[in-house]
Structure 1
Amino acid sequence: MQVSRRGLLAASAIGLAAPSISYGQSDVIRIGHLTPRTGFLGPLGEYAVQAIQLAGEEINAAGGINGKRLELLMEDSVNPQTGSAKAERFVQRDKVAAIVGEINSATALAIAQVVNRERVLFVNTGANSDALRGSDCQRFMFHVEGQNSMYVKTVGRALVAKGLVRGKKYYALTADYAFGHDLLRVAKNFMGGAGGTVAGEDLIPTDLTDFSPFLLKIRQARPDLVVANLAGAQITNFLKQYSEFGLRFPVAGFGFDTALAWGAGEGNFLGTWPVMWHHMIQAPSAQAFVRAFTTKYGRPPENQAWGDYTALKLVAQAMTATRGTDGMKIVEHFEGEGRMDILKTREGYFRKRDHQLMQEAYAVTALPPAEVKNRWDIFSPGDAVPAANESLEAIAATAEENACTFR
């Protein structure tokens, strides 16, 4: 059964007790969850909420955290100001042991500034900006979500292999907020370094629904490649309207969420895009998550669901390993770069110098409509990047590209 948006918004605090376990009233560990549930990022926030609820239920069913019941406090972050205020309330009033979530890069920074001051852990599950791992990095913030450099280098390899970069002209449409600006910067550095040139570029307001003026400009420019540095519902609307306009220029994205392709409707997904995770990964832990999520919600999970589910599991494991909820001890535990199961073929680890999760990523390519068998399996997943014989750091930003000095 699919949970409605209204149902998800109804509860701000959810106790996830397992019926077979008896807990005292004071034996509770509270973790705050912040993510956009409305606006252009709302479709992703819905997956995030469902996934973290599932993770919490599984943690409690297995005995909780150090014998204590996990309680999730869940709120819509809406915007940076609201996200900051709710993070402060979580920490000061509700005494949460950690905060998990977020998708908007500007809001993630606002939350990080609160937790750094309060010395409480924050695990970012959806904000991509390289700046969060560089100029704006914070000691108490870690990143399960991939950074923009990882997305760009992953799909960039695929585009170079397809002959769509060197000597080619590309037209870029970019979300007009912190994430998009950062992604455009990283994408232009990669494309220019690989021999591509700009045919045109436009910033797209986050509330825009009609892409026709920009699609007309693309038709006139006749680029060799259309690059979508978009986010949230922008991607869904772009894909639908690109198909309706009948444009035939190859399409690629440097940022992506599977749910947005699913939302575009049958026959409208096209091009090559990067993801940090997808539901066809055959690792046993990945498929166990897919089965549990699909059974509970009536649809497979996508990459945002993976991020929130994985983050909560890693936090619980760290609290178990450190035998408590002390923020600094958990920071030091993660900085030890211990390998962890992250529902992929290879284990991952948090890189000490910038707290980015080192992990595999994937460049997925849309299947021709005739090859699509159902509404979910609409792409060819491709091989994991980096390859098995490469370091996981091969697609991450280098210290020279993105220097971090913790505050």
Structure 2
Amino acid sequence: MTEFFRPTRRGLLAGGAAMLAMPSISYGQSDVVKIGHLTPRTGFLGPLGEFAVNAATLAAEQINAAGGINGRKVEMLFEDSVNPQTASAKAERYIQRDKVACIVGEINSASALAIGQVVQREKILFINTGANSDALRGSDCRRYMFHTESQNSMMVRTAGRAILEQGLVRGKKYYALTADYAFGHDLLRVAKRFLGENGATVAGEDLVPTELTDFSPFLLKLRQARPDVVICNLAGAQITNFLKQYSEYGLRFPIAGFGFDTALAWGAGTGNFLGTWPVVWHHLVDTPSAKAFTAAFRAKAGKPPENQGWSDYTAMRVIAQSMNELKSIDATKVVEHLEKGAKFDVLKPREGYFRARDHQLMMEMYAITALPADKVQNQFDIFSSSAAIPGPSESLEAIASTPEENVCNFPS
């Protein structure tokens, strides 16, 4: 049994003392708690989906080793969500045929919205682990949908603090490249608000098709526009391809990204990772639970986890801890429990909690900056990190959207 699930005085880790004290039991088919996992395993988001699956599998194994959920074994069901229509259909099948206790996952914002509509109708818990759109916490919020992934406002303000300090915002011209789907459109809206409020002006902007692999036309535009900074609002394999080709073209304009996953930098290859980016977590976070997760994931997958893996792992821990504390898998009871401000070890210096008004996990984040090539020691440790943001004296809500910026009215 790993140290993740040792009981603490406050019962923060999955299961708590009561679960760990349970006698060993013989699991039968009727003694399982089914959790449905949905996330892209193919397409431009596929590389992230594999980290999500590996992390959720690891979490389930550790939960079961610690006694399961209320003495019942966790059984994971995995499906490739592919697109919003498929995500909706598979979510319905999970609930109606497989009788899952909850659904975990997703990365695509449009697919997360589709799943959110299903779980709201069926009154089943869904924890979104990868979709960032502010709208999912605002105009499209659902009472049975929670978010361990950060919203776009948190991503923009985290990276924004760093590039403000680097002198890349005030009085500067930016060129934005944005993924042409729901996530990208929402991120661009939030990014333009931040940049405009802080004195930056637009040198150019383009929407980029999600399956595009050749960035030559856009790189030529950048060379001609000569911006002070390139703002990268891309997603998935787009980022990997863009960084590779940016280096090949020999462009030297500073890069800053407002949406990011570290696996995409690893995929770009040695020497191709550039700029400053926000992450919800990274494998170098120095807390006991973060180190233990990183070691366990590395032993299982042969590489460190990245932020998407962290999110799915954290969601599983939240579910197990909550259901064990409640001694119930009832979705409505779990929703109410989370809305009351239950605290969780989220593998960072401070505990996290879900904000009642929009179900966003309130937590610290990090701004990472690419190391110079001569400082890179291996293929994974390729960046330096800021201290946790917000700082220890700030509210965890300091980087999140305000009620005025993002209104959520949960449907009945």
SS class of match (1:377): coil
Q: Does 1:155 align with 2:159?
A: yes
Structure 2: runs of 5 or more not aligned? 1-23
Structure 2 CA distance for aligned equivalents of residues 310 and 335 of structure 1: 17
Q: Does 1:347 align with 2:382?
A: no
Structure 1 CA distance for aligned equivalents of residues 30 and 139 of structure 2: 40
In structure 2, which of residues 180, 187, 202 is the aligned counterpart of residue 183 of structure 1?
A: 187
Q: Does 1:131 align with 2:135?
A: yes
1:395 — aligned with what? 399
Does the CA contact (< 8 Å) of 2:191 and 2:258 recur in 1? yes
Q: Residue 338 of structure 1: CA displacement?
A: 1.9
2:303 — aligned with what? 299
1:382 — aligned with what? 386
RMSD: 0.6
Does the CA contact (< 8 Å) of 2:25 and 2:71 recur in 1? no
Q: Residue 24 of structure 1: CA displacement?
A: 2.8
1:364 — aligned with what? 368
Amino acid across the alignment from 1:356: Q
Q: Residue 382 of structure 1: CA displacement?
A: 1.3
In structure 1, which of residues 153, 170, 174 is the aligned counterpart of residue 174 of structure 2?
A: 170
The Cα offsets for residues 344-394 of structure 1, whole Å up to 9 and x where unpaired, read as: 111000000000000000000000000000100000011110011000000
Structure 2 CA distance for aligned equivalents of residues 220 and 21 of structure 1: 68
Amino acid across the alignment from 1:252: A
Q: Residue 131 of structure 1: CA displacement?
A: 0.1
1:253 — aligned with what? 257
Structure 2 CA distance for aligned equivalents of residues 396 and 297 of structure 1: 33
Structure 1 CA distance for aligned equivalents of residues 326 and 115 of structure 2: 24
Q: Does 1:226 align with 2:218?
A: no
1:23 — aligned with what? 27
Does the CA contact (< 8 Å) of 2:177 and 2:231 recur in 1? yes
* Identical amino acids, percent of aligned pairs: 73
Amino acid across the alignment from 2:204: G
Structure 1 CA distance for aligned equivalents of residues 77 and 62 of structure 2: 16
- Per the normalisation by structure 1, the TM-score is 0.95
Q: Residue 322 of structure 1: CA displacement?
A: 1.3
Amino acid across the alignment from 1:336: K
The Cα offsets for residues 301-327 of structure 1, whole Å up to 9 and x where unpaired, read as: 000000001101101111111111111
The Cα offsets for residues 73-99 of structure 1, whole Å up to 9 and x where unpaired, read as: 110000000000000000001000000
Q: Does 1:279 align with 2:279?
A: no
> How many residues align structurally?
388
SS class of match (2:277): strand
Amino acid across the alignment from 1:362: Y
Q: Residue 184 of structure 1: CA displacement?
A: 0.1
SS class of match (1:81): helix
In structure 1, which of residues 104, 108, 114 is the aligned counterpart of residue 112 of structure 2?
A: 108
| Mapping of residues 6-155 of structure 1, within 5 Å | 21-155=25-159
1:264 — aligned with what? 268
Structure 2 CA distance for aligned equivalents of residues 150 and 122 of structure 1: 21
The Cα offsets for residues 49-95 of structure 1, whole Å up to 9 and x where unpaired, read as: 00000000001111110000110111000000000000000000100
Amino acid across the alignment from 2:179: A
SS class of match (1:384): coil
Does the CA contact (< 8 Å) of 2:33 and 2:72 recur in 1? yes
Structure 2 CA distance for aligned equivalents of residues 225 and 21 of structure 1: 59
Does the CA contact (< 8 Å) of 2:285 and 2:348 recur in 1? yes
Structure 2 CA distance for aligned equivalents of residues 26 and 218 of structure 1: 59
2:197 — aligned with what? 193
SS class of match (1:94): coil
Q: Residue 21 of structure 1: CA displacement?
A: 4.5
Q: Residue 25 of structure 1: CA displacement?
A: 2.6
Amino acid across the alignment from 1:128: N
Structure 1: runs of 5 or more not aligned? 1-19
Structure 2 CA distance for aligned equivalents of residues 353 and 102 of structure 1: 22
| Mapping of residues 200-211 of structure 1, within 5 Å | 200-211=204-215
Structure 1 CA distance for aligned equivalents of residues 391 and 281 of structure 2: 15
Structure 2 CA distance for aligned equivalents of residues 261 and 371 of structure 1: 16
